[in-house]
Amino acid sequence: MRNIRVRNIFFAGHFVTFFLVFFLFLPCSQSYAGSDSEADVKPFLIIDANKQFEFAEYLFSNQEYASAISEYERFIYFFPKDDRIEPAMFKIGMAHFKSKGFRQAVNAFKVLIEKYGQTALSIKSYLMISESYAKLNAFDDAIINLHNLITITGDENIRDEAYYRIGWLYIEMASWGKAKNYFSKISAPNKDTYRLKRLAVD
* Co-location of 133 and 162 in the same domain: no
Average pLDDT over residues 129-154: 97
Domain co-membership, 59 together with 103:
yes
Alpha helices by DSSP H, listed for 41-138, are: 49-61, 65-78, 85-98, 102-116, 120-135
- Look up the domain containing 177 and give its range: 154-202
Which of 106, 137, 168 lies at the terminal end of a domain, its last residue?
Answer: 137
Q: What are the tens digits of pLDDT across the range 72-130?
A: 999 999 999 999 999 999 999 999 999 999 999 999 999 999 999 989 999 999 999 99
- Please indicate, yes or no, if residue 148 is contained in any of the structural domains: no
pTM of the entire predicted model: 0.75
Are 59 and 133 found together in one domain? yes
Residues 59 and 115 in one domain: yes
Q: Quick: pLDDT tens for 11-63.
A: 444 444 443 333 333 443 343 344 444 445 555 567 899 999 999 999 999 99
Q: How many domains does the chain have?
A: 2
Q: Is residue 17 part of a domain?
A: no
Q: What is the pLDDT of residue 44?
A: 59
